[in-house]
A = this chain, B = another copy of it.
Amino acid sequence: MINKKINFKEKFSKISEHWSPKIIAEMNDYQFKLAKVKNKFIWHKHDDTDETFVVINGHLTIEFRDSKVHLKPGEMIVVPMGTEHRPIASEECEIMLIEPRGVINTGDKKNAYTQNSEVWI
């Protein structure tokens, strides 16, 4: 896999639906995923891992139970393990997620957003 550079813009062009992270790379047992998001996601947490959000285009808000964080392109946050959070974007936003292989997007919750398979783009 040497010599395989990844261009975010080119990868985002392959994504249509919202809240459906697609894998673009692996580093050891961690994965890099891209997602387009819009409107409110669900409250959830990941009991076994931290989760990193990097904003590539647009604006993302992450609500915590007692605060919220607004992120713009060139900004990131690591949501600590076990912390309830809800991502929100009033307009479509393009983000990169970094987390261990096998993390479920809706964490401890199961609903229509829950992804049951891993998709590479």
Which A residues have a C-beta under 8 Å from some C-beta of B? 1-9, 25-28, 30, 32, 49-52, 56, 64, 67, 69-71, 74-81, 83, 98-100
Q: Which of A52, A64, A70, A98 has the most CB of B within 10 A?
A: A52
Q: Evaluate contact between A25 and B52: CB separation under 8 angstroms.
A: yes
Known: A25-B52, A28-B50, A51-B27. A6 touches B77 (CB 8 A): yes
Q: Evaluate contact between B78 and A7: CB separation under 8 angstroms.
A: no
Q: How many copies does the complex hold?
A: 2
Q: Evaluate contact between B32 and A74: CB separation under 8 angstroms.
A: no
4 more A-B contacts (CB under 8 A) besides A4-B77, A6-B75?
A1-B78, A5-B69, A6-B77, A28-B81
Q: Evaluate contact between B67 and A7: CB separation under 8 angstroms.
A: no
Q: How far does the alpha carbon of A84 sit from the alpha carbon of B71 in the complex, in Å?
A: 36
Q: Evaluate contact between A2 and B74: CB separation under 8 angstroms.
A: no
Known: A9-B74, A76-B32. A64 touches B27 (CB 8 A): no
Q: Which residues of B contact A51 (CB under 8 A)?
A: 27
Q: Evaluate contact between B52 and A8: CB separation under 8 angstroms.
A: no
Sorted nearest first, the 5 A-B pairs with minimum C-beta distance are A27-B50, A8-B74, A5-B77, A3-B67, A27-B78
